[in-house]
């Protein structure tokens, strides 16, 4: 990431930010494909609720300068552990793979950071319900193998008191990123204990689990994602959680364009979550590069924080950088704002077959979080 010049103003382009399909790596083209085996359940249609239509308008570059005032206090490194919650836990890992429990199913997926040997015997792994193959000749569920019997494309899951659909996608994931449980639990507690109405902005919100956790806790939520398909999935999850009447705005738009407009309108939020991809494309083919455009995005997010804001949370996946890179960026962004910046890694710890036996820790992403003192 290029350093901010202390003496001279520096112009950074602020293009539209793309969608996230697969945090861990390559972005294959979106496709639902055909099921690999019989017995697939029909995919529920997106609930017919209005999605806010974005306003047209050019994206302007943003001038970034060194802010005045002291940098926030710091707490590093902070390792946020998750042993699992609700219907999820990490069973075992090793030899470049991980074995996870998602509700009734045990799933095997690639995990490059699992350099160690597996702890559980082969027969446990071989009894998995679904294995991601990454077969580039197939699409959708065709990139999964089901050793025991055919499975439907979706199934119900629950985390932190919200219900949603897991789905076998072509992008290796199943629609939820459990390492985020640490942030979601923090947000849930903050909303419940605030004693006042709280507004949450969830950028790159994808399938909406974080948005639903916030809404279930009592927050007014604005959920932004550039993918119509993801928004449809998120609204299905809203119905599954019986939160149809919850104050959630589903906005299908480029994240950067949206926050620029919110800044012009003077809108403010108490909690902002941003989970940008390393690389992405917006609805009109606009290019997002995290190292080039993240500083401008965080700078705008700072301006969107309410006077009594509770926090700004950034997560970053698959980047060649230390957490110190985003930590120092966050501290510079929040210079003069006071508070505390805590940064480190999100880690999931193995919990064994019973979900209660602590094992090795698997690093999943970097994060930086600003909170007021």
Find the domain containing 265 and state its range.
10-24+34-85+153-371
Where do runs of H (alpha helix) occur along the chain?
A: 122-126, 181-193, 209-216, 228-240, 255-265, 290-304, 323-333
Res 19: pLDDT: 37
Q: What is the spatial distance between Cα 211 and Cα 247, in angstroms, rounded to a whole number?
A: 10
Has residue 262 been placed in a domain? yes
Higher pLDDT, 123 or 7: 123
Q: Give residues with Cβ within 8 angstroms of 40, minimum separation 6.
A: 141, 150, 151, 152, 153
Residue 211 has pLDDT above 80, yes or no: yes
Has residue 136 been placed in a domain? no
Res 288: pLDDT: 76
Has residue 124 been placed in a domain? no
Has residue 95 been placed in a domain? no
Split into its structural domains, the chain has a count of: 1
Residue 344 has pLDDT above 60, yes or no: yes
Helix (H, G, I), strand (E, B) or coil at 223: strand
Res 318: pLDDT: 77
Q: Tens digit of pLDDT for each residue in 176-186?
A: 999 999 999 99
Residue 3 has pLDDT above 90, yes or no: no
Res 31: pLDDT: 37
Q: Give residues with Cβ within 8 angstroms of 3, minimum separation 6.
A: none
Q: CATH number for the domain including 273?
A: 3.40.50.150
Q: What are phi and psi of 161, to 5 degrees?
A: 70, 15
Q: Tens digit of pLDDT for each residue in 27-73?
A: 433 333 334 443 444 434 444 445 554 444 445 578 888 999 999 99
Q: What is the spatial distance between Cα 341 and Cα 73, in angstroms, rounded to a whole number?
A: 6
Has residue 1 been placed in a domain? no
Instruction: Classify residue 143 by its DSSP letter.
Output: G
Q: What are phi and psi of 353, to 5 degrees?
A: -65, -35
Has residue 189 been placed in a domain? yes
| Residue entry with tokens 């699409």 | 139
> Binning pLDDT at 50, 70 and 90, where does residue 281 land?
confident
Q: Residue 338: which of 75, 6, 69, 66 has the closest Cα?
A: 69
Q: Lowest-pLDDT range, 2-6, 121-125, 324-328, 365-369?
A: 2-6
Has residue 139 been placed in a domain? no
Q: What are phi and psi of 243, to 5 degrees?
A: -115, 30
Res 314: pLDDT: 98
Q: Lowest-pLDDT range, 27-31, 283-287, 290-294?
A: 27-31
Helix (H, G, I), strand (E, B) or coil at 146: coil
* Total-model pTM: 0.83
Helix (H, G, I), strand (E, B) or coil at 248: strand
Q: Tens digit of pLDDT for each residue in 69-100?
A: 999 999 999 999 998 899 999 999 999 999 99
Burial of 71 (0-12, 13-18, 19+ CB in 10 A): middle
Residue 207 has pLDDT above 80, yes or no: yes
Q: Average pLDDT in the 245-255 region? A: 96
Residue 10 has pLDDT above 80, yes or no: no
Res 51: pLDDT: 52
The string over 172-181, giving b where at least 16 C-beta atoms fall within 10 Å of a residue's C-beta and e elsewhere, is bbbbbbbbbb
Has residue 315 been placed in a domain? yes
Average pLDDT, the chain: 86
What's the start-to-end Cα distance of the chain, in Å?
A: 28
């Amino acid at each position: 990431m290029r350093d901010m010049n202390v003496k001279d103003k520096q112009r950074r382009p602020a293009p539209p930010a793309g969608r996230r399909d697969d945090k861990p790596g390559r972005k294959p083209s979106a496709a639902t494909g055909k099921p690999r085996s019989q017995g697939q359940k029909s995919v529920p249609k997106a609930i017919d609720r209005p999605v806010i239509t974005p306003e047209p308008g050019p994206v302007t570059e943003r001038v970034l300068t060194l802010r005045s005032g002291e940098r926030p206090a710091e707490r590093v490194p902070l390792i946020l552990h998750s042993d699992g919650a609700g219907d999820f836990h990490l069973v075992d890992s090793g030899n470049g793979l991980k074995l996870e429990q998602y509700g009734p199913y045990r799933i095997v997926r690639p995990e490059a950071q699992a350099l160690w040997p597996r702890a559980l015997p082969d027969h446990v792994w071989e009894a998995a319900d679904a294995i991601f193959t990454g077969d580039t000749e197939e699409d959708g569920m065709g990139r999964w193998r089901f050793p025991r019997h055919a499975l439907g494309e979706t199934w119900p899951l629950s985390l932190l008191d919200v219900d949603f659909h897991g789905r076998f996608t072509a992008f290796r994931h199943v629609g939820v990123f459990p390492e985020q449980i640490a942030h979601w639990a923090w947000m849930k507690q903050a909303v419940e204990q605030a004693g006042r109405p709280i507004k949450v902005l969830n950028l790159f919100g994808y399938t909406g689990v974080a948005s639903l956790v916030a809404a279930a806790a009592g927050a007014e939520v604005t959920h932004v994602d550039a993918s119509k398909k993801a928004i449809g999935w998120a609204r299905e999850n809203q119905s599954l959680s019986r939160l149809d009447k919850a104050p959630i705005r589903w906005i299908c738009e480029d994240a950067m364009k949206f926050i620029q407009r919110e800044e012009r309108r003077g809108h403010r939020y108490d909690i902002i979550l941003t989970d940008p991809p390393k690389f992405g494309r917006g609805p009109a083919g606009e290019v997002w590069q995290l190292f080039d455009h993240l500083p401008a995005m965080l700078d705008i997010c700072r301006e969107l924080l309410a006077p009594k804001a509770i926090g700004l949370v950034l997560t970053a996946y698959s980047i060649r950088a230390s957490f110190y890179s985003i930590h120092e960026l966050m501290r510079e962004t929040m210079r003069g704002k006071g508070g505390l910046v805590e940064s480190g890694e999100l880690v999931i710890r193995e919990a064994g077959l019973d979900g209660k036996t602590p094992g090795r820790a698997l690093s999943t992403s970097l994060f930086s979080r600003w909170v007021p003192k």
